[in-house]
Structure 1
Amino acid sequence: MRKPVYILALCLCFATACKKAPEESEAVKTIPYWTENSPAMISIMDYVESVTAEKADTFVPEADRIAVFDFDGTLFGELFPTYFDNCLFMHRVLHDETYTAADDVREYAEAFENAAQNHEPEPDSPRSTAQMEAETFAGMSVEEYRDYVRDFMAEPAFGFENMTYGEGFYLPMVSLVEYLHDNGFKIFISSGSERAQVREVIEGTLDEWVSSENVIGSTFSLEASGQGDKQGRSYSFKADDKVLMEGNLVTKNQKTNKVFSIIDEIGKAPLLVFGNSSGDLSMAQYALNHGGRGYMLLCDDTERDYGNIEIAKSFQKDCEEMGLTTVSMKDEFQTIYKEDAVKKGK
């Protein structure tokens, strides 16, 4: 008499499982903080599925699954009110009472801060901002420099409430990094900011999936404390030497330099490139040339961030002409920053 009951129970379990299957399948097709049915998210997940399916012709071994992300404006905000490295530079020159900058550097920093806070173009400068930034940290040890970056990360982010500079990550993109890592991708960051800065900023947020040696960025010159006027190739590092910031820009990691740094430091073309500006198009083109894909964020959210619709439209046109997929921050991100971060300006 129990056999029919058992069969009925099995049928009910099977029916319940069938009902849940679509929901579970649908749940797999999401990445946290992305909107449901985001075209870019679906495109990324479909592509990842194709390169991780072992029996498919499109399968790519883990050793060749490389994803390269720009940093500012791609993983991390660049509109409070400008790039993190520029904000750090202005803080050092204008608001650090322990430091006195050269007159021309201070004059430029004042003009730059005023322009940035009013969303105006960067003013002309006697030399590049990156070069002047390198100068402002000359003489610090690398450890002191990174500590300085860490301290600045605790400062309130301009234009937002309840958010520090160190908390300025795009949550959907952080989730994307984790998703790709979990699918066997090796993640690299290729930033226009100085690399030690970026290594410090990602600590505690992205470093679980992006190791320190996988951070590529602009390079400031270094020197040994006892080196004097000798070139590094002519000086032997001593037991009591410290490594100091020497005070010059060596390489600005932008545009085609990002292609060169990928070749020099990774040695393989990436399958995926993520960026948000013209400075990232070169490495995206390099990925396309080798059968990869490129995804570019559009700064089109003016409610939750300080986006610019005209810039977003122009950049979208450039991307589409190149065959790149664009990501609308306005339409495809459920949220941008941490939950209680609030934009407080226009």
Structure 2
Amino acid sequence: MLDSWTEGPTKSAIVGFVARATAEVAPADRVAVFDNDGTLWCEKPAYIQLDFLVRRLAEQAAADPALAAQQPYRAAAAGDLAWFGDAVTKHYNGDDSMLEVLARGLLCAYAGLTVDEHAERVKAFFAGARHPTLNRPYTACGYAPMIELLELLADNGFTNYIASGGGRDFMRPVAEALYGITPERVIGSSVGLNFTDGHLRTTSTPEFLDDGPVKPVRIWGRTGRRPIFAAGNSNGDIEMLQYTDAGPGPSMTLLVRHDDPAREFDYTAGAEKVLVLAEQRGWTVASIRSDWATVFDG
């Protein structure tokens, strides 16, 4: 049980909560929600989905010099992933000026594809792409301790959901193989879809940015229940953690802290607010350095 976790207060808190929830909460109400980027899989030096999208933006920039002269295509063509990372970090700190520029490009990247065509492109990406600094396939960048946690919860009657700011249709093709989470239990950001000629096709119109206060709204819309377990790692997870913590019965909120430069990364950018809240509210913080005996399998 949780073999990749170090013996200590964090592991004990998880095991204790699962025992209590199993005894006191009906199986139908044992809902657990997990952020994905930085919580279930690695998000540095850039988001995995960002790699997928940047490759597409670079293709578009190569085909159209006019695009190459503007952001985010200029950064994609130059391989400037720091520009994209800065846009997301600023968003988590309340500044969406760069995110708006980024979103305009990303929303158009795969517009017009059927959902099946998009899924095949995602699968092809994961079949060959590797993490740029860890030198392992992206499919091997899921955190072993968190995957064990998902399995422990499932074995004890929980229904696990992903509730991520990442793209719903980027995660769905791989979530079951990586985490045992089926497509209908993946909640994420999405673009609008049109139905034509028997197919669903992607548009360039945003539907949801599943982040911040939108997360609990989308969770309720999908599950009709308040989660009793939630795990996240950034300021964008605050409202999801608060929603879980405010329930009337047993609940647990878990925050992953990235503090292990030797085995993963060490950073707090984009998590400054949630770390303060965790200390104030007594949320459980899982230190990668101290609480994870193993970070990745293999």
Taking structure 2 as the reference length, what is the TM-score of the superposition?
0.87
1:220 aligns with 2:162: no
Alpha carbons 2:194, 2:201 under 8 Å: kept: yes
TM-superposed deviation, 1:224:
2.5
TM-superposed deviation, 1:92:
1.2
Name the residue aligned to 2:11.
41
Q: Which amino acid aligns with 2:30?
A: R
Partner Cα separation in structure 2 for residue 273 and residue 241 of structure 1: 38
What is the Cα-based RMSD across aligned positions, in Å? 2.5
Q: Which of residues 317, 321, 339 is equivalent to 2:276?
A: 317
Partner Cα separation in structure 2 for residue 93 and residue 135 of structure 1: 9
1:78 aligns with 2:43: yes
Partner Cα separation in structure 2 for residue 191 and residue 86 of structure 1: 14
Q: Which of residues 269, 287, 293 is equivalent to 2:244?
A: 287
Name the residue aligned to 1:328.
287
TM-superposed deviation, 1:110:
4.4
Name the residue aligned to 2:94.
none
TM-superposed deviation, 1:113:
2.7
User: Which ranges in structure 1 are unaligned for 5 or more consecutive residues?
Assistant: 1-29, 54-58, 226-239, 340-346
1:242 aligns with 2:199: yes
Partner Cα separation in structure 1 for residue 9 and residue 179 of structure 2: 24
TM-superposed deviation, 1:120:
5.8
Name the residue aligned to 1:106.
73
Alpha carbons 2:230, 2:241 under 8 Å: kept: yes
Residue pairs, 1:167-246, within 5 angstroms: 167-207=140-180, 210-225=181-196, 240-246=197-203
Alpha carbons 1:188, 1:216 under 8 Å: kept: yes
SS in 2 for 1:75: coil
The alignment-based identity, stated in percent, is: 28
Alpha carbons 1:171, 1:338 under 8 Å: kept: yes
1:263 aligns with 2:220: yes
1:115 aligns with 2:85: no
Larger radius of gyration: 1
Partner Cα separation in structure 2 for residue 302 and residue 91 of structure 1: 27
Distance 1:99 1:296, change over 3 A: farther
SS in 1 for 2:179: coil
Distance 1:168 1:282, change over 3 A: same
Distance 1:253 1:182, change over 3 A: same
Alpha carbons 2:235, 2:273 under 8 Å: kept: no
TM-superposed deviation, 1:132:
2.3
Q: Which of residues 5, 26, 29 is equivalent to 1:64?
A: 29
User: Which ranges in structure 2 are unaligned for 5 or more consecutive residues?
Assistant: 91-96
TM-superposed deviation, 1:285:
0.4
Alpha carbons 1:93, 1:99 under 8 Å: kept: no
SS in 1 for 2:262: coil
Q: For each residue in 1:199-226, what CA deviation from the matched residue of structure 2 results, as whole angstroms up to 9, or x when unmatched?
A: 113132213xx2211110011111123x
TM-superposed deviation, 1:178:
0.4
Alpha carbons 2:255, 2:278 under 8 Å: kept: yes
Q: For each residue in 1:27-71, what CA deviation from the matched residue of structure 2 results, as whole angstroms up to 9, or x when unmatched?
A: xxx412111x23222101101111213xxxxx1110111110001
Name the residue aligned to 1:304.
263
Partner Cα separation in structure 2 for residue 189 and residue 90 of structure 1: 23
Q: Which amino acid aligns with 2:25?
A: V
Count of residues paired in the alignment: 285
Partner Cα separation in structure 1 for residue 27 and residue 170 of structure 2: 29
Partner Cα separation in structure 2 for residue 255 and residue 310 of structure 1: 16
Partner Cα separation in structure 2 for residue 195 and residue 310 of structure 1: 24
Taking structure 1 as the reference length, what is the TM-score of the superposition?
0.75
Farther off after superposition, 99-108 or 251-260: 99-108
Distance 1:324 1:242, change over 3 A: same
Structure 1 stretches of 4+ with a deviation exceeding 4 A read 95-101, 119-124, 309-315
Partner Cα separation in structure 2 for residue 146 and residue 75 of structure 1: 20
Alpha carbons 2:233, 2:255 under 8 Å: kept: yes
Q: Which amino acid aligns with 1:68?
A: V
Q: Which of the pair has the greater relative contact order for Cα pairs under 8 Å at 6+ separation?
A: 2
